Amino acid sequence: MNESFDSHSIHDTPDLNPERQKKRKLWKNLFILNLCVTILLVSLFWLPLKLEQLDSFLESPSVNQKKGGPAQPSRGAQLIAAVNPNLLAAQSIVIDATNEDHWTYFDFSRGRQVKIHDPSSLEWDLAFRRGKIISNGGATNKFGQAGLMDLGEVSFDAVENVPLKEFVVDQATRTEAENSVLANWYKYNYISHKLTARKNIYVLRTSDSKFAKIQFMSFYCADKQPGCIQMKYVYQDKGTKSFLKDNSGSFASPAVAESSNISDS
C-alpha cells in the first residue's frame, strides 16, 4: 500500500526544475504574443477593408436609389424629384474627369460640360481633373468671380439661402492653383486606396456671381474606373441668394433639364 501511495505521489509532484519552468513560461509568452500580433494585424488590415466595403455598399445606388445603377459620364444634367416643393429643382450630373492630363470644364448656367479654349473666359465655373477640382476665380483666373464655402455635413435641402460667410477663392501653390475648400472633398482610404466623397454641402459663387449649392456623390464610373464625379446641385440663375422658388412658382433653371444631348459650345 505504501508503494502505491508513493507511486501516486511521484506522478502528482510538480516539476520543480527551474530550466523547464523557464522554457514553459517562455513558450506560453510567445504564444500569447503571436496571438496578439495576429489580432492586431487583422484589426489593421482586414477590419478597415470590410468597413470600407460596407460603407461603399450602403452608399451605392443599389441601396440609396429605387432603380438604376451607377451613372455613366453625361454632358447634360438630369432633374431630381423635389422633396420640398418650395425649393428649386436639384440637378444630378456625372462629369467625366478621367483624363489625368487635361481639365474638364463645367458651366452651371448650361448644366453641362463645356469645351474651353481660353481658361480666362467666364464660360465655366468648375474644372475637374481626376480627384482635383478648381474654380474660375482667384489665382486660377483673375477675371472670374468664383469662390466656395464649406457648410459641413448638413442636410442638402436645409440650405435655403447663401450663408453670410466669406467665399474662399483659388490660391497659388508651388505647383498650380487650388481651392482649399475643394482640396478635401473626398476621404482617402489608405488600405483600399479608394476615394469616397464626403457628405459635405458646398456653396459656390459662380464666375459671373450667381450661386449654386453642391454635394459630391461619388468618384467612380460604372466600370470601377476613377474619375467619374457625380455631383448633385441646385443653381440659382437669378443672382439672388435664395435657393427657394420665386413668387411665380417656376424653377430657376428649366433649360438645364431639357435634354442631356446638348452639343458642346
At 55 the pLDDT is 55
28 and 81 belong to one structural domain:
no
Query: Does a structural domain hold residue 58?
Result: no
At 45 the pLDDT is 66
- In this structure, are residues 155 and 134 in contact, taking their beta carbons and an 8 Å threshold? no
140 and 207 belong to one structural domain:
yes
Query: Does a structural domain hold residue 65?
Result: no
31 and 124 belong to one structural domain:
no
Query: Does a structural domain hold residue 57?
Result: no
| C-alpha to C-alpha distance for 198 and 200, rounded to whole angstroms | 5
Query: Does a structural domain hold residue 251?
Result: yes
At 115 the pLDDT is 95
DSSP 42-68: IIIIIHHHHHHHHHHHHTSHHHHSSS-
Query: Does a structural domain hold residue 262?
Result: no
At 207 the pLDDT is 97
* Residue that is written with C-alpha cell 435634354 in the block: 259
| C-alpha to C-alpha distance for 143 and 157, rounded to whole angstroms | 31
221 and 154 belong to one structural domain:
yes
180 and 101 belong to one structural domain:
yes
84 and 213 belong to one structural domain:
yes
* Residue that is written with C-alpha cell 492586431 in the block: 40
| C-alpha to C-alpha distance for 70 and 75, rounded to whole angstroms | 16
148 and 252 belong to one structural domain:
yes
Query: Does a structural domain hold residue 146?
Result: yes
At 21 the pLDDT is 79
At 236 the pLDDT is 95
- In this structure, are residues 69 and 212 in contact, taking their beta carbons and an 8 Å threshold? no
| Average pLDDT, consecutive stretches of 10 residues, N- to C-terminus, the chain (265 residues) | 51 65 82 83 66 52 39 63 81 94 96 95 97 97 97 96 96 94 91 89 97 96 92 94 71 37 38
Query: Does a structural domain hold residue 168?
Result: yes
125 and 247 belong to one structural domain:
yes
At 31 the pLDDT is 85
19 and 76 belong to one structural domain:
no
Cα angle for residues 239, 185, 197 (degrees, 5° grid)? 110
* Residue that is written with C-alpha cell 452639343 in the block: 263
At 50 the pLDDT is 61
226 and 153 belong to one structural domain:
yes
110 and 229 belong to one structural domain:
yes
Torsion over CA: 212, 218, 222, 225 (sign): positive
What is the number of domains present in the chain?
2
At 216 the pLDDT is 97
pTM of structure: 0.67
- Tell me the residue range of the domain where 11 lies: 2-45
Q: 40: how many CB neighbours lie within 10 A of its CB? A: 10
122 and 37 belong to one structural domain:
no
Query: Does a structural domain hold residue 59?
Result: no
